[in-house]
Chain A
Amino acid sequence: MSAHSVAWPDGSVEVAAPPRPPALRAPAIVRLAGGTAAMAQAELRKIRHDPFDILTRAVQPMLWLFIFGTAMAHNHAIAPGGIEYRAYLAPGVMAQGALFVAIFFGLAVVWERDVGQLQRLLATPLPRSAMVLGKATGAAVRSLVQATLLLIVVAIAGVGLRWTVPGVIGALALLALGTASFACLSMLLAACLRTRERFMGIGQLITMPLFFASSALYPLSVMPGWLHVLSRVNPLTYEVEGMRRCLDGTGAHELALDFLFVIGFLVVMAAAATKAYPRAVL
C-alpha cells in the first residue's frame, strides 16, 4: 500500500506530514527494551497478586522428583555414573515444569483472555517484537519463581547438588532462555491454531514428546538410536544438559554449546512468533 494512488479530497498527492510525535524520540531499541521490561514487570505484579498458580504448578515437578525419582533411584540402568538419581533428575523436572508454564502461556491468547490487550498493544508504538519478547519474558519470570521454589525444596530435602553461586545462576539463566523460547513456540502455535480445543490437543501432543525425547528423565546413553537422534535436536535436551552441568556436573555437552543452541532456538522462535502472533488477535 502506498499513498500515491490515493485521491485525497484536497487534491493533494503528498502532503508534508507533521513532525514525528514526541513519543518516538527514544530509539527503537530503547523502546523495545522498555516495552519488554514493562510486560515483564506486569507479569511479576500478577504473580504477587495471585501466587496460587505458581504454587500449584510447582507441585507436579515435585511429584516427579520425590515419587518417580525415589522409585527409580535404585535402577542402575538410568542412574548414571554413581550420582544420586534425584540429583540427576532435579534439573530435568525444573525444566519440565517450566516447559509446561511456557507451552500453556500461548493458551491465554486463544482463550481470548488477552485478545483485547493485544489488539490494544498493536495500536501503540510498542514494537511488535516487544509484545512477543515481553510475553516470553513474562513466562520466563514465572518459570524462575517456580524454579527457585523447587531449588529451595531440593536443598531442604538434602538432594546432593553441587551448590555454587555461578552454577545456580547459570542454570536459572538457561532455564529462563529455554522457557522464553518455548513460550514463543506456544505463541506461534496459538497464532496458527486459533481455537482452544485445537490448542489443548496440540499442546499435549507437543509437551509430552518434548519431555520424553529429552534427557530430562534418563541419560542419552540409555536411549535407543532413533530416540537419541530426536533428543539431539530437541532444545529441551540442551536446556537440561546445560542446567545439569551447572548444578551437578553430569551434563553430557559443553555448556557453551547448550547456551548457543537454546539462544539460537529462542531467536528463531521469537522471529517466527513476531511474524505470526499479532495476526492471532484479528
Chain B
Amino acid sequence: MLDAREAPPAAVAPAARSERRAVEVADLVVRFGDVVAVDGISFHVEPGEVFGLLGPNGAGKTTTLRVLTTVLPAGGGGARVAGYDVAADGLSVRASIGYVPQALSADGALSARENLEFYARVTGVPRAERRRRIDDVVVAMALETMIDRLARTLSGGMLRRLEIASALLNRPEVLFLDEPTVGLDPTARASVWERLHELRAEAGTTVVVTTHLMEEAERHCTRLAIIDRGRIVAEGTPGELRQRHDADSLESVFTAVTGHDVPDEGGRLRDVRSQRRMARRLG
C-alpha cells in the first residue's frame, strides 16, 4: 500500500520528517497592486493533520496556497514548507509537495495511466520506481477500473481522484488541495474525502485544504483556520471553535468572529466563469 515511510529516501530520515512542522507561516502578506489579498497571517500545520483554510471566495485562501506552493512570491513575512523556506529554497519545496489546483489539471486527451506517467516524469520519480509508484497511487485512489480510459471520459469525482493520485506520485510530505470538492455531487465528494482519510491513516501525509464549505470543513478537517478578507479570524479544531464561541455550527462561528454572515457566493466574473466551466467539465 501507499506508505511514504515504508522506504524512506536515504537523504531524509523519517525522524526528521515527523519532528518538524509540515507548514509554518509567519506574518504573510500578499498584495496585488493596491489590494491586500493576504494581510499578515500566521499559522502552522503539524505533520499528519488535515488542515483546512476555510473562508468565502476572495478571502485569500488560494493566494495563500499559491505562496506555499511557491507559485507566487510573498510581499512580506515568510513561510516554510517541509522545513524549506518558500522564498529561499522554492525548488526543494516544490520537490516535497503535491498540489492539486482548483482548475482542471488532468489532461483530458490522455488516458488516466498516461496522466500518471506524465506527472511521475515531471515530478522526478526515478524511472525504476515509476511503475510501482503508479500502482500504489492507483490502489490508494481506487482508480483500477478506469486506468486506461481517456481522462475526458471520467466523471468529476474520478477526475479529482486521478488528480490527487498524480499529486501523490512523488510521495509528498504535504499535499495541498484547492477546493477539491467544488463542482462534485455529494457521492463523489464523500468518495474523495474517504480516500483522503485513508491516505492520511496509511501514509501519514499532511493535507492542507481550502474550502468555502463550512459543513465540509467541520466534518473532515482535524484543525482549521477561518480566513476572512485576508486575515485569520479564528483557529482551532472544529470542536474548539464551536465551544469557544458557544455555537452549534461553524457557520455560526464564522458570523460570531467576522461580524457578518457568510457572503453570497459572488466572486468576480472570471471566478464565476472558470468555476462554471470547471463544473461543466467535471459534469
Contact = CB atoms under 8 A, between A and B. Distances in A.
Interface of A: 1-3, 5-9, 15, 17-24, 26, 31, 34-35, 37-39, 41-42, 45-46, 49-50, 112, 115-117, 119-126, 130, 282
Given A3-B85, A8-B26, A120-B167, 4 more contacts: A22-B9, A24-B91, A119-B101, A120-B101
Given A17-B85, A119-B103, A125 B94 contact: yes
B109 A18 contact: no
A17 B87 CA distance: 13
Interface of B: 9-12, 16, 20, 24, 26-27, 42, 44, 66, 69-78, 80, 82-85, 87-89, 91-92, 94-97, 99-107, 109-111, 114, 118-119, 121-125, 150, 167, 170, 176, 274, 277
Contact of A17 (B89, B100, B103): B89
A9 to B, nearest CB: 6
B74 A49 contact: no
Contact of B105 (A26, A50, A116): A116
B26 A125 contact: no
A119 B278 CA distance: 15
A38 B103 contact: no
B27 A6 contact: yes
Contacts of A282: 66, 71-72
21 contacts: A2-B88, A6-B27, A6-B78, A8-B80, A18-B12, A18-B83, A20-B92, A21-B11, A21-B12, A22-B10, A24-B95, A34-B122, A45-B114, A49-B150, A112-B277, A115-B104, A116-B101, A116-B106, A123-B97, A124-B119, A282-B66
Contact of A124 (B24, B66, B123, B176): B123
A9 B79 CA distance: 11
A37 B101 CA distance: 24
What are the 4 tightest A-B residue pairs by CB atom distance, in nearest-first order? A116-B103, A23-B124, A116-B105, A6-B78
Interface of A is mostly: helix
Nearest to B170: A23
Contacts of A24: 91-92, 95, 124
B123 A19 contact: no
A114 to B, nearest CB: 9
B62 to A, nearest CB: 10
A123 B70 contact: yes
A237 to B, nearest CB: 34
